[in-house]
Structure 1
Amino acid sequence: MQGRAFCRAHAGLVDQWLEELFADEPETALVAVGGYGRGELAPRSDLDLVLVHRGRSDVSRVAQRLWYPIWDAGLALDHSVKTVKEALAIAARDLKAALGLLDARTVAGDDDLGAELAGKARDSWRRHRGRWLRNLGDAVAERHRRFGDVAFLLEPDLKEGRGGLRDVHALMAAAVAVDVIPDIDEVLPAAEEVLLTARVELQRITGKARDRLVLQEQAAVAHRLGLPDADGLMQRVSAAARTIAWMSDDAWRRIDSFLEGPRGRIVATDRRMGAGVVLREGEIAVEAGADLADESLALRVAAAAATTGAPIDRAGLVRPRSGAAVPAARWSDASRRALVELLTAGPGAVAACEALDQHGLLVRILPEWEPVRSRLQHNPYHRFTVDRHLIEAAVQAAALVRRVSRPDLLVVAAWLHDIGKGHPGDHTATGIELTERIATRLGFSATDVDTLVTLVRHHLLLAETAMRRDLSDPTTVMRVAAAVGDRSTLALLAALTEADAKATGEAAWTPWKAGLVDELVTKVASVLSGDAPAPKPTSPAADLVALVAQADGGLLTRAEGSRLVVAAPDRPGLFCLVAGVLGLHGLDILEADAWSAAGGMAVDVFHVDDAFGGAPDWPGFHDDLVRAVDGRLPLERRLVERARTYAAHRGPSGQGPATVTVENTASEDASVVEVRASDAIGVLYRIARAFLDLELDIRHAKVQTLGHEVVDSFYVVDRQGSKLDDEERIRQLEKAVRFRLSQVGT
């Protein structure tokens, strides 16, 4: 027994018990309100009860005889003792109380008294519906702001989040007052059942009144529901929440229009938006005589909504949905133009695509959409499901169309770049196959299909290269140029890279990353124009040489903005010590270069970011570095202590063991070691310690943080300045790095 059936059965058992406790008390009724009143009693729900009486002087005796056994049973109780007049007076000024009474149900006692309270509460709600609906709408908006979207969060609050159970309850309350919510009894129950079932099992498993479906509990809940894994559970939860959120948004728009009255509504003649499509009273609608066999109709309706920002009238998509109006095996030019118009419309495309999705039209238009629909991405780096991310990427790409010669290819590539994520294996490889098939079906030319495939194949190339490779190395630039092929494709790929990152999340497109991508694109464009790449510098720049001279054989640190320069006597492990002290001060290294200088000196350049948002304490850093170099700072112990504190506040990362790869073709003069590991204080220090253990020197380093994971890339050579070309030594390196990382926080 699950979901609604469990809740009703649970409520029924509690009803029987309370009836026995209540006995026969005249002029009194025990009334369940809120969730218990609806019969929606989850395993750890509170019992919301009102003891209603007709002015009995001994009512406190009756109340004590009820409340104490409930408390003794360990049940959570929200209780009050009121006359009908008193209960209505409180409900007249308190939204929560008013909502609770809308679900009032007599459990025991005087049925007429309970019915009187319920009837008068509903009458009052309807009589003052203008005030209550405005208050309820404001409360819904504030709750959404606080708890976020159930559909897109990794650990959603099934009750309070946008698209959660509270939204269903709010719509039911609104429906008591106004009759402007179509399909509420047809669409909502199935979606509500999904969330209610997950909530019930979560509380049964944990034994606690929990509504937040945390990562650690998702697999267990999925197992209890007979689902193969947590992904299957969360995909169902996301789809249900999206339906509820979409219904809620549509309903509150209608309610707002109702509250504004005739004066607030747009009354005008139809504005024609294309064949069979009109803007009518602020909504996009399908004309009565429209050709429902027109395969472009649904897309043109959505495009009109996206470009105008107007919502789609329900019938505007119900009618095409009921017919066969979807593009054929080979799309017409009109269908393709409508798709491009939709995707280039900007932010309005999100709501329009969601409307297509909720009416089942999106997967009919593009069957390959089904596997990515409502599919969560298991890291905090991504804020959206795969399908929503693709639409958001198209929205971001639409803002960049003036940078490219083919806006249509840009937005379609953005719409398809992660389409392979709905399948097992390498999502890019699968995406290439799907994109070729889809683009051909959409009616693009063979040349355009090739361009779209190239964009999908390399949609990560610029970002990963910029964040993980040495951009001063000619090999880096030449490899990207060879992959891209021409400047037109490069411009498309650069715009796609930016759109993809911005659609991923705020942390995915920082000024630092934007600058690196721009630097890479500029260098690659030069090569594609026929220029030779600039040679890699072999000695420190003049400003660094000057700082080495100022150090005069000692230790000098110079910080300006996010750039830190350390000049010191050359010694094994200098990079390691600097990385450790930076970690101790909460400073993340973004990029670093190490140089040997004249007179037995070394100069290292670091670009850093304050992980906690404060201003770096550079004098304190300098003092700690001096102590670390002199051996007076217990750096290892201090980093362990800080790592433990950081981990306790941040929570579990959910990542597996570190992975280490070594590539000897990415650079002419160094081996590139890439390490993926869980983010923690001291990670870079410990990787550098592993290099020190094996007598390897770091020439260049880049660090990328992806949610709870870091991807660190190092250009390393041995003490003779050579690459690591011995398989046994590479295995030793991998083992040493994993060993050092296993000691983080221990």
Structure 2
Amino acid sequence: MKTADSNSPDYNGILSSAEHIRSLREHIQQHNEELTGRFHAGIPAADLIRARSDFMDELLGACWNHFLGPEAQQLALVAVGGYGRRELHPYSDIDLLILLDAHCSSGARAEDSAYRQSLAEFFNLLWDIGLKPAHSVRTIDECVEQARQDLTVITNLMECRLLDGSPALFKELWARIGPEHLWSSREFFEAKMAEQAARYAKYHDTAYNLEPNIKEGPGGLRDIQIIGWIIKRHYNASNLNDLLLHGWLTEAEHGELMQAQHFLWQLRFALHTLTGRCEDRLLFEYQKELARKFGYQDPNVNQAVEQFMQRYFRTVMGLERLNEMLLQLFKEAALHRDEDAVILPINKNFQAVNNYIEALHPNVFREQPLALLQIFLLLQQNSGLLGIRAATIRLIRQHLYLIDEGFRSNPEACRLFMEILRQPGGITHQLRRMNRYGILAAYLPAFGHVVGRMQYDLFHVYTVDEHTLFVVRNLRRFALEKHKAEHPLCTEIFQIIEKPELLYIAGLMHDIAKGSGGDHSTVGARIAGDFCQRHGINRRDTDLVKWLVQNHLLMSMTAQRKDISDPDVIHEFATAIGNQETLNYLYLLTVADIRATNPNLWNSWKDALLKELYLTTRWAFRRGLAKPLEQQEKINEVKSESLALLRRLGISDRTIENVWQMVNDEYFLRYLAEEIAWHTVAISACKPGDLPLVLLRPVSQRGSAEIFLYAKDQDFIFAYSTAVLDQLGLTVFDAKIITSADGYVLNSYHVLEQTGEPINDHLRQAQICSRLRACLQHPSCTPLRVHRREPREIRHFTVPTQIYFHDDPQNRYSILELVTTDRPGLLSKVGQAFRQCDIRLYNAKISTIGSRAEDIFYITDHQDRPLDIDLQKRRLSEAIITLVGPS
């Protein structure tokens, strides 16, 4: 135990005082405040976490001696885990082991009960003063048995440190947990590798989630600790400085490792002091304050956060590289040193050693700079190779400076890079490896600017470089038969793509200008054009790549914000694309992009919507853009298809006519034939006592559940029904409102669960229909206010409410665009505003992007005319803002 200095309190006096608990609490609080003050004054966290560890040593030692005294020599008080390493952040767990002599366990002697009572009092005091220790009480045999079975236990024991009690007992424990008795160096290494792989998988194999865990996430503190544990197990090393002594790290690498550890320690210490608890997640609510504390100032607060987080992501990316290299080096040089290596020549620069590629000599890259690209092509061409030898990874990183303008302009370098993109396999793996080792950022400087760059919103959940590589991965999956079940149409289209490498280039370039200050699509198209020109791509293909980058959002915006049942919308979209080949490329890029933006963003609704837009546009090309489908022709086609479906169901023409005479031609433009058939059957069978009619089918042609309401028209139907759907936790993607000639409404909503899952449970379906029917029967009893908890993240990403009015080319409606924060009850509030202003709603396209709602409403006044008076628009805008809020 650490000896108290002259500034230490009289622990004996405190502990014997009647108010000892209050006194100790105050003493701990005072120490915590002192550490926090020193941290804000600029003292490094590395000094402070050791100071807190020393403080705890002193405090625990005094408490131990008070309750057990020096005579308790059959016990030992041992610090384990992070506390054993003397790394104790303000709210870190205090991990303790009470080591018992074998004779003290299991009540072997009556006098041992005194120890048990004293231990209980010892731990009760620790809890009373707020320490909340994580502790275990074991004999040496029990420790050994637990360690043999549990990797976590042996890892904690490897860092044990005697605080007080029996040195002999502690020494015996240390001797019995050595690698010669259990968990040999090789067994420990292999188990830790499996543990790290499982931990990485838990965090989706990326350190670049927008709310990363700085301890457990890839590239976090755990990646540093795992290096220390493995080296310690093999060499009995005391700290990371021993990596230098054993030749595992160069001075530069050791400096990088220590600098990264310093930054993450600073960050963790700041998180603990900011939150007042053991918090290791960089949640949105802390990022702005942490950015300020770390000196990132910008008039645009979001920009400051993005700069701060880019530093974090680049730090953990560097740690991932070091972790990979060191563990690979350890495996080669320590675990397999005495084994016979299988060495096979590859070419004049490289050989394979035990299926890992290795540079033939340290000067390979200096003499042949192009080998910095060649090595990745060789990995693709030799599928038996498992990776790169650690010493060669180090050489790659040491020679990145060779990739300069001359290198980038070298025709052979350009050929090698294009060969990598043209290979039949390994493209994703090698691009990821090139990014991890810094090659991609060096070869494509514009890409280097987006490495580690986040966007402070809820939509883009990965950094730009990670998102980009996910896009390329998704494109590659379309090429592989084993992934066909995920996207059959994409796989089918990919087979007819003439030059897949153009698609990969567009994927690499589509967001490369994020953060450049201009429109990223326009700037990105220019960068893509320069890339294509430098890499010898012909003019036609270059124009295609540039167009794809410039317009990579066109298809998703059209599908989600426009009425794709309108022939004019399809003709406009097809005209913008120009030909079938471009449509194929754009569809594949769009699906890959959306799926790589946010795991929760892709759902069956978006899948069906994009597929419908693709197929409809493909038909427009086959028909010929010079002969666009006229609205009446579309109406006749839909009627004919619907009629055929209904006749097959045995519905008479007279019954069909009775239903259809109550709706206008607009109805046949906006609904699919199978939807019309469903509605017609339901309405024709409906008796007055069945109203209001509420039907739900779990899977529609558009991939979502469809809810159909048929009822007498009344005020606030849209407001009330959407309030109920929201309260039930459903996400509305599309709403169509039809009022029949005899005063009935035919409303349909396309919905999914908020998780994006379909509504498959029959009880759930019945609940939805029952709640909606009750709402329509007794609207006055239905609260318009939605009582559903707002997601935690929303309050950090409020969006100013903006309202725009657009003209409908056919002058049928006014088109209202609402951009605001997505909150519970939003659609219901909009519906209330419509009713207050005598507005009729005909169609709604609902799109939520993170915390941002971008909804489109097709509306008229109460006489079915577009809003042509500014006063009407201003009154409606004010009503919406009053109900929805300014943000």
TM-score of the aligned structures, taking structure 1 as reference length:
0.86
2:502 maps to amino acid: L
- CA offset at residue 524 of structure 1? 3.3
Residue of 352, 358, 383 corresponding to 1:285: 358
Question: Is contact 2:349-2:364 (8 Å) kept?
Answer: yes
CA distance in 2, matches of 1:99, 1:491: 53
Q: List per-residue Cα deviations over 1:429-474 (Å, max 9, x = no partner).
A: 4433433444444444444443322211111110111111101223
CA distance in 2, matches of 1:443, 1:294: 22
Quick one: structure 1 residues 743 and 191, their matched pair in 2 at CA, closer, same or farther if it must change by over 3 Å?
Answer: closer
Residue of 305, 312, 335 corresponding to 1:237: 312
Task: Extract unaligned runs of 5+ from structure 1.
Answer: none
Residue of 824, 833, 847 corresponding to 1:704: 847
Task: Extract unaligned runs of 5+ from structure 2.
Answer: 1-42, 105-111, 236-245, 298-303, 479-493, 636-664, 669-675, 700-704
- CA offset at residue 98 of structure 1? 1.9
Residue 43 of structure 1 pairs with residue 90 of structure 2: yes
How do residues 350-499 of structure 1 correspond to structure 2 at under 5 angstroms?
Answer: 350-400=428-478, 401-424=494-517, 426-499=519-592
2:345 corresponds to = 270
Question: Is contact 2:694-2:773 (8 Å) kept?
Answer: no
1:305 corresponds to = 379
- CA offset at residue 197 of structure 1? 1.7
Quick one: structure 1 residues 597 and 77, their matched pair in 2 at CA, closer, same or farther if it must change by over 3 Å?
Answer: closer
Residue 190 of structure 1 pairs with residue 263 of structure 2: no
CA distance in 2, matches of 1:655, 1:264: 60
* Helix, strand or coil at the partner of 1:540: helix
Question: Is contact 1:551-1:568 (8 Å) kept?
Answer: no
How do residues 128-147 of structure 1 correspond to structure 2 at under 5 angstroms?
Answer: 128-146=184-202
How do residues 521-536 of structure 1 correspond to structure 2 at under 5 angstroms?
Answer: 521-528=614-621, 529-536=624-631
- Equivalent residue pairs, number: 738
CA distance in 2, matches of 1:377, 1:395: 21
1:326 maps to amino acid: I
Q: List per-residue Cα deviations over 1:689-723 (Å, max 9, x = no partner).
A: 22222222222222223344433222222233333
Quick one: structure 1 residues 268 and 108, their matched pair in 2 at CA, closer, same or farther if it must change by over 3 Å?
Answer: same
CA distance in 1, matches of 2:577, 2:374: 34
* Helix, strand or coil at the partner of 2:783: helix
Identity of aligned residues (%): 24
* Helix, strand or coil at the partner of 1:362: helix
Residue 714 of structure 1 pairs with residue 851 of structure 2: no
Quick one: structure 1 residues 586 and 94, their matched pair in 2 at CA, closer, same or farther if it must change by over 3 Å?
Answer: closer
Quick one: structure 1 residues 620 and 92, their matched pair in 2 at CA, closer, same or farther if it must change by over 3 Å?
Answer: closer
Quick one: structure 1 residues 92 and 492, their matched pair in 2 at CA, closer, same or farther if it must change by over 3 Å?
Answer: closer
1:328 maps to amino acid: E
- CA offset at residue 311 of structure 1? 1.6
* Helix, strand or coil at the partner of 1:589: strand
Residue of 726, 732, 744 corresponding to 1:583: 726
CA distance in 2, matches of 1:735, 1:121: 73
- Higher mean Cα deviation, 713-722 or 576-585? 576-585
C-alpha RMSD of the superposition: 4.0
Question: Is contact 1:7-1:43 (8 Å) kept?
Answer: yes
- Higher mean Cα deviation, 568-577 or 390-399? 568-577
CA distance in 1, matches of 2:340, 2:834: 70
- CA offset at residue 34 of structure 1? 1.7
1:559 maps to amino acid: L
How do residues 608-623 of structure 1 correspond to structure 2 at under 5 angstroms?
Answer: 608-611=751-754, 613=757, 614=759, 615=761, 617=764, 620-623=767-770
CA distance in 2, matches of 1:444, 1:124: 61
Question: Is contact 1:29-1:114 (8 Å) kept?
Answer: yes
1:227 corresponds to = 296
- CA offset at residue 549 of structure 1? 4.7
* Helix, strand or coil at the partner of 1:730: helix
1:328 corresponds to = 405
| Structure number with larger C-alpha Rg | 2
1:100 corresponds to = 156
Question: Is contact 2:440-2:447 (8 Å) kept?
Answer: yes
* Helix, strand or coil at the partner of 1:269: strand
Residue of 194, 199, 208 corresponding to 2:268: 199
2:693 corresponds to = 556
Quick one: structure 1 residues 287 and 443, their matched pair in 2 at CA, closer, same or farther if it must change by over 3 Å?
Answer: farther
Question: Is contact 1:126-1:177 (8 Å) kept?
Answer: no
CA distance in 1, matches of 2:559, 2:716: 26
CA distance in 2, matches of 1:202, 1:711: 34
CA distance in 2, matches of 1:508, 1:532: 36
* Helix, strand or coil at the partner of 2:403: coil
Q: List per-residue Cα deviations over 1:386-412 (Å, max 9, x = no partner).
A: 101111111222344534233222101
* Helix, strand or coil at the partner of 1:422: coil
- Higher mean Cα deviation, 217-226 or 336-345? 336-345
Question: Is contact 1:271-1:280 (8 Å) kept?
Answer: no
CA distance in 1, matches of 2:852, 2:574: 29
CA distance in 1, matches of 2:100, 2:593: 62
